[in-house]
Amino acid sequence: MIYILYSNDYEVFLGGNYLPERDVLISTTENLLTSCDEINVPMTLFCDVTCLWRYRELGFEEFPDAVEQQLAQTIKRGHDVQAHIHPHWQGTEVSHGNDGSTSYRVDPAKFLIGNWSPTDGSSLLDFCVEVFSRAKRHLEELLTPFNPNYECIAYRAGGYGVQPNSRDIYGALQESGYKIDSSIVPGMTYETDVNRIDFNNTPSLGNYSIDPNKGLGEASDEGVFEIPVLALRNGEARWPLIKAFIRKVTKTLSSQEKHRHLGYPIQMSKEPAKKSTFTRQIIAELKVIRDGWYMLELGEDADLMVDTATRYIDQYHEDDTDLYVSISCHSKSMNPRSISAFKNFHRRLESHYGSNMRAITFQQAGQLLDQELKETK
């Protein structure tokens, strides 16, 4: 069976928001969940709980209250909520403008949990256990009144940041009771003043477990079960990207509806950002095509998403085993065109794979894995 797990990194913009937080996150997520209901697809919200903690510490109750109301409604509607952690929120300063905008003053050194040095003399492992356990406890206390069977069992690192010190991070996840991780993006490499990712040497498998004693480079039968975010690497995405590029440049510019930006990311480099131009965009896209790497995040090109997903699934799915496929998005960046493309994409996947495919939540994946473990004993 092919299990598709749609997920939303449920977070505001980490540098600041041009509009009130409710407009940036609550309204956009409601639009996304409504579209899921229309096609009978469950969505998992990976909730950035550390943001909620910081808002409450600073006395800003309205936004976390609204978030928790939406999370409760999410569970009532049959969707899922799991843990997403951006540790830099601990210490972030929050400022609200008279126009409803929000800005954040962030310590970039705290963006990756693996870089933290606890001040109380405890180990990084102990610090991670404390943070992960608090997130799990927070969500379970909030959501079990609406679904007694709810469990927080899955994790996605903020910025996919499970490096450095990945052994401590996965050891802490296991010790805190997390069964599933979905932070690995196969083949992704990325380095800024804030974040560093190198997933070039992760196993070329659809699913596997990560043993904290062995690290990211070796698949194991024990440990935290990994459901990687769908991505093609080693040049596998080059042809889908070429076709997408041709489609894009042949559209007339006048037909493109301008997307309204709702916020901005943490400044990723000390170098001033260069103004985006059509030429720079073309050059950047040609570099992506040359590299042949592509991560599927729900966007506006349904053809590219279908092409990428089917290549990935056909590569890793075997008839006698289950394949769990994670496909992510950010509701704060979704617009009517991307929501329409998402619905088109899912319907085409259903048509292609038929009864061999099913969309599930991460909590359902955990239940299936538990059942499989019982059957093998």
* pLDDT at residue 271, rounded to an integer: 54
* Fold adopted by 2-376: TIM Barrel (3.20.20)
Mean of all residue pLDDT scores within the chain = 92
Q: pLDDT, tens digit, for every residue of 22-69?
A: 999 999 999 999 999 999 999 999 999 999 999 999 999 999 999 999
- Per-residue pLDDT of 270-311, as tens digits, reads 555 555 566 777 777 777 788 889 999 999 999 999 999 999
Looking at the predicted structure, is the pLDDT value of residue 269 above 80?
no
DSSP-derived 3-state class of residue 184: coil
DSSP string for residues in 89-116:
GTT-EEEE-TTS-EEEE--GGGSSGGG-
Mean pLDDT to the nearest integer, 66-81:
98
The count of other CB atoms within 10 Å of the CB of residue 236 is 18
pLDDT at 95 over 70: yes
Structure tokens at 2: 């092919």
pLDDT of 256 > 70? The answer is no
pLDDT over 50 (residue 119): yes
**Which tens digits make up the pLDDT trace of 128-153?**
999 999 999 999 999 999 999 999 99
**Domain edges within the chain:** 2-376
Provide the pLDDT for residue 377: 64
Residues of the chain above pLDDT 70, percent: 94
Alpha carbons 365 and 302: distance in angstroms, whole number: 25
Long-range contacts for 312-318 (Cβ within 8 Å, ≥24 apart)? 312/230, 312/231, 312/232, 313/2, 313/353, 315/206, 315/236, 316/205, 316/206, 316/207, 317/2, 317/206
